[in-house]
Structure 1
Amino acid sequence: MATVYLVRHGQASFGKANYDQLSPTGWEQGRVLGRWLANRLTPGAVFGGNLERHRETVEAITTGFGSQLPDMQVTTGFNEFDHNEVVTRFRPEWEDREIMTRDLRAFPKPAKAFQEAFVQAVRRWASGQHDGDYSETWPGFKARVLQAFEEMVEYADGSDVLVATSGGPISVICQELLGLDDARALGLNEVIANTSVTRVLYSGPRRSLSVFNNYSHLEAEDPALVTYR
């Protein structure tokens, strides 16, 4: 059986003007993963979404890998959902970033406060009770991720594949493979670490989850590199 390595992108730049780029920690996470993969994987193809953090994660992995990987094939189906839209539909006042920053600074741990709000915002989006508020519904998001996954497997044609993506798509793929309800799928999304590896085995029509959210490569090198946002 061949293996799909689903990699969540490295830590993005939370709180910066451009969130969609890796932080210095995110670049190091990618390089560490590349070194870990070097003796474990010879991918026949590399895929990713069209987000900057996906592309930069592949660049960082390549640096650590030590040899050239196949060019990343861009597939927008592996993009994350629009987290800005999801959050601002839950907290409309946060469309003004200065107001969001002010509100979060009122908490001892602003990042934790944002995460708690983010979880509630995602649950609102996925509830199906406010679909008219969003440009992409939760069912629509799941459908395009699964379509991208199947098209990628068909293209790979029995070879191992590396995919740089985000927590949402990884959760959806695991949900499909394990037959989970939406609540459990959203719970998975909350615990996926940056540059963690989720492995899916495939052969013909068979798909099996082999490993979920492995970040032992980070723990072995420096536990401080383990991040979730």
Structure 2
Amino acid sequence: MVIRHGQASFGADNYDKLSDLGHQQSAAVGQALRDMGWVPDRTITGTLTRQKETLASMGFEAGEEHAGFNEYDFQDLLSARYKGDVPDLVKGDRKVHFRTLRETVFQWQADEIENPAESWGTFTGRVESARLAACATGADRVLAVSSGGVIGQLTAASLGAPDKMMMTLNLQIKNTSITKFVFTNSAFFLHEFNATPHMMSGEAAGMLTYS
């Protein structure tokens, strides 16, 4: 099972931390898993603060870290595309930001971004490395906390989808949504994508966010 981190701090000087709402979302999904009787045998996150804070607010102990679960550096990609001069509208307006980011990721995948900190091939390689590491032990219930781009890539790769599908999925993934995979030593299948049972009714429905 892979959980996307809770709402981060969009527009803040330090994006890589949960907002107050992000902590609430994380607590809600953690309680939902316990209510379903699903408690992990093993936990793993990337090294990003927002991922580790999500796991803590879910109420589960910290486990392993694997940098392959870290998000791609979207700020670096935008900076590389605009030669260090990202327009204020792209930085400050959510709709413009994510529309521009989508276009930028497509350029990145086509190797049209000059000198990014990480190539598309390096990104997909480390995500695959993280997947293999998460599936490598005898644990039946592995809980990973990651980010939208990684979850989009894991899902697209499991379906044998074209590269562009990663970003199409990425932009749909809700904060603290649940994506489930079934795995064996030789197989990896998508079972459930982007589910938010903890935000489906009542006051909890107002907690739904995408960034």
Specify the TM-score bucket, using the shorter chain as the normaliser.
over 0.9
Q: Determine the structure 1 residue equivalent to 2:124.
A: 142
Counterparts of 1:16 and 1:104, CA distance in 2: 10
Overall identity of the aligned pairs, in %: 29
* Number of aligned positions between the proteins: 209
Q: Determine the structure 1 residue equivalent to 2:26.
A: 30
Q: How far 1:21 moved relative to its partner?
A: 0.3
What amino acid is aligned across from residue 161 of structure 1 in structure 2? Answer: V
What amino acid is aligned across from residue 174 of structure 2 in structure 1? Answer: A
8 Å Cα contact 1:194-1:228 kept in structure 2? yes
Counterparts of 2:175 and 2:85, CA distance in 1: 25
Q: Does 1:187 align with 2:168?
A: yes
Q: Does 1:126 align with 2:109?
A: yes
Evaluate the alpha carbon distance shift between residue 76 and residue 93 of structure 1 in structure 2; reply closer, same or farther with a 3 A threshold.
Answer: closer
Q: Does 1:58 align with 2:55?
A: yes
Counterparts of 1:158 and 1:73, CA distance in 2: 13
Q: In the alignment, which of 63, 75, 85 is matched to residue 66 of structure 2? A: 75
Tell me the TM-score normalized by structure 2.
0.92
Moved over 4 A (4+): none
Task: Please give the root-mean-square deviation of Cα atoms over the aligned residues, in Å.
Answer: 1.7
Evaluate the alpha carbon distance shift between residue 12 and residue 94 of structure 1 in structure 2; reply closer, same or farther with a 3 A threshold.
Answer: farther
Question: What SS does structure 2 have at the residue aligned with 1:21?
Answer: coil
Which runs of 5 or more structure 1 residues have no equivalent in the other structure? 63-68
Question: What SS does structure 2 have at the residue aligned with 1:150?
Answer: helix
What amino acid is aligned across from residue 180 of structure 2 in structure 1? Answer: R
Q: Determine the structure 2 residue equivalent to 1:112.
A: 95
Q: How far 1:222 moved relative to its partner?
A: 1.9
Counterparts of 2:85 and 2:140, CA distance in 1: 44
Q: Determine the structure 2 residue equivalent to 1:202.
A: 183
What amino acid is aligned across from residue 51 of structure 1 in structure 2? Answer: L
Larger Rg: 1
Q: Does 1:20 align with 2:16?
A: yes
Q: Does 1:152 align with 2:134?
A: yes
Q: Determine the structure 2 residue equivalent to 1:175.
A: 156
Q: How far 1:86 moved relative to its partner?
A: 0.9
Evaluate the alpha carbon distance shift between residue 29 and residue 133 of structure 1 in structure 2; reply closer, same or farther with a 3 A threshold.
Answer: same
> Greater CA deviation, 24-33 or 217-226?
217-226
Counterparts of 1:171 and 1:213, CA distance in 2: 10
Q: Determine the structure 1 residue equivalent to 2:40.
A: 43
What amino acid is aligned across from residue 123 of structure 2 in structure 1? Answer: F
Q: Deviations over 1:5-24 (max 9, x none)?
A: 10110010001111000011
Q: Deviations over 1:83-111 (max 9, x none)?
A: 1101112233545xxx626x666xxxx21
Q: In the alignment, which of 200, 205, 208 is matched to residue 223 of structure 1? A: 205
What amino acid is aligned across from residue 116 of structure 2 in structure 1? Answer: Y
Q: Per residue, is there more helix in 1 or in 2?
A: 1
What amino acid is aligned across from residue 91 of structure 1 in structure 2? Answer: Y
What amino acid is aligned across from residue 146 of structure 1 in structure 2? Answer: E
Q: Deviations over 1:22-59 (max 9, x none)?
A: 01111111011011011331211100001000011001
8 Å Cα contact 1:58-1:72 kept in structure 2? no
Which runs of 5 or more structure 2 residues have no equivalent in the other structure? none
Tell me the TM-score normalized by structure 1.
0.85
Evaluate the alpha carbon distance shift between residue 185 and residue 217 of structure 1 in structure 2; reply closer, same or farther with a 3 A threshold.
Answer: same
| Higher RCO, Cα 8 Å, sep 6+ | 1
